Structure formats: C-alpha cells, structure tokens
Amino acid sequence: MQPKEEFEQSIQSIDKALGEIERTLEQMLALAQLSASDLNVDREVLQKTLERLQRKIDRIADTF
C-alpha cells in the first residue's frame, strides 16, 4: 500500500471512530438529561449504563 492510501485509510478509520464517540456521547447526554428529570427513573441503572458507555469511549480512544 502506498503512503497516500495508508494516510487516507487512517483518516477514514479516525473519522469512523470519532463518529462512534459522538453517537456514544449523545446517548450519554440523553441519559444524563433523563436522570436530571423529575421522572421516576432508576438512577443506579442509568449510572451503570453511563459507566459502560464511558468504557466504550475509552476502548475506542485506546485504539489510536
């Protein structure tokens, strides 16, 4: 593979990873808003989900 192709492939991989991080952050924001609402929600479950999503972001970031 030529350097230009490697570079383009790297950019595509990074772009895909950033997109996945962005979607995960949007999920986290929605969960935080739900937790802050006056609705009857199980905040412990929400917290565990947030922690799982944070680990997902960490795994993605660790690949680069």
* Residue 39 to residue 23: CA distance in whole angstroms: 24
Q: Output the six-digit token pair for 22.
A: 């962005």
* pLDDT above 80 for 1: no
Segment holding 44, helix H or strand E: helix 43-62
pLDDT tens profile 10-49: 999 999 999 999 999 999 999 999 999 988 999 999 999 9
Can you give the pLDDT at residue 35? 92
